[in-house]
């Protein structure tokens, strides 16, 4: 059997799984099958329709350095044609503020000037002391190396030594402190904590900076962002339609057994035989979930090394509600509430999003976190209510909730495991059991990092 004929099973029809299919196909592997448990593709890119317009329950935006997403756009002949994003800020009492505008914050001018200075220093530090920090994935970081592909459109292979990269295992707050740039957290927090990726005292800097590299953060600051008129799900629907093998929806995988160099997948009661399997679905979910989603370790013939490593994974409890308001209560723009992005205000509304510029009959989506590493999970219903109370405080009360979910979001490991080389151990297992691990945990929980990781996986192993 020629290599290119190998039968490859891909679990998950989200950005990671579908782009794995695309890159495999482009490399001449056409014998792949994508199994998706839901009745739709896109995963956390979920853009339902209300009143003829799509709104976002999951991913919303991209930046110009989303090269893998751009590959998908080119493959499908589509582009980022969505509404321009804009936002404003409120304090926790609902008062509109302009936190970065010196003229509106006379007393804070010294802090703002200091922040500006630290921002410049930080940009320089990242380019020099932390050279190689922004490469997709975490290979070698714990050993003070970088290894992967450059963050440029042509993505040439790069590798080298940089012992300073070991600092990326530290929680971002500590990373900023040792580098004397604490105030840059004021800038990074918006697109990080408000976007559900956790708090800076718990999340390793590696995750924060691989997603929010300096350039990407500046794109957020300048609101130089991409959106898609038909929603981010549309990108993946187009890709699915274009692929030679469309994702098989409603696939319930009961069992995966790996023996004698073959992979046996029991799906909807039928055993199918493959040569290799790529897992883009969750590897491990530490608790029972309301949506019945489980980790790979629950349906695979999981080996001891897989179990040992994957059981270190935690994730964020990130809740989204889609609400309607009365026309007179409709927000005129999206709002960020920085006061609510602290762990003391866990469970409060951090951001609410208004997608279309012109209409007041549109859906507003709200975002809140329900757990910090050191706390118990706040019950879903409690946060749901807190967020609705917060909307009233903001002056934009909801009249109806039309959609809601609590997402399995941003799987990651914490600093001790990151520093102990969790990623290199998992990378060393790639292919060992005819199994490859991809999806959010392997790089970062955004559309591009996951699609890019799939690109690199195909490049490295197929």
**Interface residues toward ligand FAD, by CB under 6 A:** 11-17, 35-38, 43-45, 58-62, 195, 251, 253, 280-281, 293, 320, 407, 409, 439-440, 445-448, 450
For the bound state, the minimum distance from the C-beta of residue 275 to ligand FAD, rounded and expressed in Å, comes to 19
Q: How far is the CB of 424 from ligand FAD (least distance, A)?
A: 21
Rounded to a whole number of angstroms, the minimum distance from the CB of residue 284 to ligand FAD is 12
The sheet carrying 276-279 orders its strands as 32-35, 8-11, 276-279, 435-437
CB of 55 to ligand FAD, least distance (A): 11
The tokens for 66 are 């989303």
Question: Would you say 13 or 204 has its CB closer to ligand FAD?
Answer: 13
116 burial (CB, 10 Å; 0-12 / 13-18 / 19+) is: middle
CB nearer ligand FAD, residue 15 or residue 331:
15
Tell me whether residue 44 or residue 155 sits nearer to ligand FAD (CB atom). Answer: 44
Q: Least CB distance from residue 57 to ligand FAD, whole Å? A: 7
Least Å distance, CB 430 to ligand FAD, is 16
Shorter beta-carbon distance to ligand FAD: residue 62 or 140: 62
Rounded distance between C-alpha atoms, residue 97 and residue 167, angstroms? 35
3-state SS of 101-165 is CHHHCHHHHHHHHHHHHHHHHHHHHHHCCCCCCCCCCCCCHHHCEEEEECCCCCCCEEEEECHHH
Cβ-based nearer residue to ligand FAD, 97 or 238: 238
In the bound state with ligand FAD, the residue whose beta carbon lies nearer, of 61 and 165, is 61
CA distance 30 to 21: 8
- CB nearer ligand FAD, residue 97 or residue 451: 451
Closest CA to 71 of 238, 223, 191, 216: 238
Burial class (CB in 10 A: 0-12, 13-18, 19+), 426: buried
The smaller minimum CB distance to ligand FAD, of residues 212 and 324, is found at 212
| Least Cβ distance, residue 348 to ligand FAD (angstroms) | 16
Closer to ligand FAD by Cβ: residue 115 or 253: 253
> Which CB atom, from 251 or from 386, has the smaller least distance to ligand FAD?
251
Cβ atoms of 204 and 56 within 8 Å: the answer is no
Side-chain-side CA neighbours of 349 within 13 Å: the count stands at 33
| CB of residue 106 to ligand FAD, shortest distance in Å | 34
Asked whether the beta carbons of 274 and 9 are under 8 A apart, the reply is: yes
- In the block, residue with structure tokens 């600092």: 167
Q: How far is the CB of 174 from ligand FAD (least distance, A)?
A: 25
Separation CA 349–CA 411 (nearest Å): 22
Q: How far is the CB of 114 from ligand FAD (least distance, A)?
A: 30
- Closest alpha carbon to 119 in 184, 50, 178: 184
- Classify 266 as helix, strand or coil: strand
Contact yes or no for 433/423 (Cβ under 8 A)? no
The angle at the Cα of 43, spanning 38 to 48, to the nearest 5 degrees, equals 85
């Amino acid at each position: 059997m020629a290599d290119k004929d190998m039968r490859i099973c891909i679990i998950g029809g989200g950005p990671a799984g579908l782009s794995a299919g695309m890159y495999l196909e482009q490399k001449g592997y056409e014998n792949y099958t994508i199994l998706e448990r839901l009745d739709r593709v896109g995963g956390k890119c979920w853009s339902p329709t209300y009143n003829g317009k799509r709104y976002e329950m999951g991913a919303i935006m991209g930046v110009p350095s989303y090269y893998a997403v751009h590959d998908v756009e080119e493959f499908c002949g589509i582009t980022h044609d969505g509404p321009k994003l804009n936002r404003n800020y409120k304090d926790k009492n609902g008062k509109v503020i302009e936190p970065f505008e010196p003229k509106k914050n006379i007393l804070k001018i010294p802090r703002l000037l200091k922040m500006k200075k630290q921002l410049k220093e930080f940009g320089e530090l990242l380019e020099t002391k932390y050279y190689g920090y922004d490469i997709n994935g975490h290979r070698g970081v714990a050993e003070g190396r970088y290894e992967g592909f450059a963050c440029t459109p042509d993505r040439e292979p790069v590798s080298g030594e940089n012992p300073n990269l070991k600092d990326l295992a530290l929680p971002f707050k500590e990373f900023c402190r040792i580098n004397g740039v604490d105030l840059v957290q004021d800038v990074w927090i918006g697109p990080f904590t408000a976007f559900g990726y956790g708090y800076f005292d718990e999340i390793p800097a590696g995750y924060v900076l691989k997603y929010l590299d300096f350039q990407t953060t500046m794109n957020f600051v300048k609101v130089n962002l991409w959106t898609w008129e038909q929603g981010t799900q549309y990108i993946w629907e187009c890709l699915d339609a274009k692929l030679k093998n469309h994702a098989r929806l409603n696939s319930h995988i009961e069992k995966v057994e790996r023996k004698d160099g073959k992979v046996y997948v029991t799906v909807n009661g039928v055993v199918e035989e493959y040569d290799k399997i790529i897992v883009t679905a969750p590897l491990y979910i530490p608790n029972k979930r309301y949506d019945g989603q489980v980790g790979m370790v629950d349906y695979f013939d999981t080996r001891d090394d897989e179990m040992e490593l994957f059981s270190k994974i935690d994730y964020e409890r990130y809740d989204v509600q889609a609400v309607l308001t009365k026309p007179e209560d409709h927000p005129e723009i999206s709002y960020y509430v920085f006061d609510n992005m602290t762990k003391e205000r866990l469970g409060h509304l951090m951001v609410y999003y208004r997608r279309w510029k012109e209409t007041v009959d549109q859906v507003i989506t709200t975002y809140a976190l329900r757990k910090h590493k050191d706390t118990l999970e706040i019950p879903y219903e409690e946060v749901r209510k807190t967020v609705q109370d917060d909307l009233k405080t903001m002056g934009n009360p909801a009249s109806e909730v039309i959609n809601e979910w609590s997402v399995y979001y941003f799987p990651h490991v914490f600093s001790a495991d990151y520093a102990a080389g969790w990623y290199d151990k998992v990378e060393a297992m790639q292919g060992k059991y005819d199994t490859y691990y991809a999806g959010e945990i392997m790089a970062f929980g955004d559309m591009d990092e996951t699609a890019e990781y799939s690109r690199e996986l195909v490049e490295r192993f197929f």
